[in-house]
Amino acid sequence: MRFDIVSDTHGHLSEELLAELRGADYIVHAGDICSDSDYRRLMRIAPVHMCLGNNDWGIDYGPEVKRVTRFFAAGLRWQICHYEERLDLATCDIAICGHTHRPFFERDPKTRTLVMNPGSPTFPRTAKGPTIGRIIAENGYVSEVHIIQLKRR
């Protein structure tokens, strides 16, 4: 299963981002989508699991979108929280965060949890430019993890 990981879109879904997301089995958004219409647009591409970011106030995305969102997919326990420091790595296999607009992925040395921040496709804060993440997983096993660079606007 292909999980495309996005964060900090801030009310803008570029055509390049939307094209890259096509074919995803799930989209995981780590907050600051800032737009109910963008949320609905992503859901037309694939099922979306999302948490609230610090700029998502005043928008009701539904009861399944919380400050910390947990779900089970591909035999793995997932957790999404906008802030890395608020993730509970002892309770998940994959932890997704955002907020910094800086992409990374790593295995936590203590829990072995895969932690990813996909960066931002809209307002990147590194020389890498706009980015998203991608995780390929099935039957409790992660086979691929990538940070994907999008073209600069």
- Does 136 score more than 80 pLDDT? yes
pLDDT recorded at residue 58: 87
pLDDT recorded at residue 151: 85
Give 75's DSSP letter: T
Q: Measured in whole angstroms, how far is the alpha carbon of residue 38 from the centre of its chain?
A: 14
Domain count, the chain: 1
Give me the CATH number covering residue 103: 3.60.21.10
Sheet containing 68-73: order of strands: 68-73, 76-81, 94-96, 114-117, 104-107
Give residue-wise pLDDT tens across range 6-54: 999 999 999 999 999 999 999 999 999 999 999 999 999 999 999 999 9
- Does 152 score more than 80 pLDDT? no
Could you list the residue range(s) of the whole structural domain that residue 18 is in?
2-149
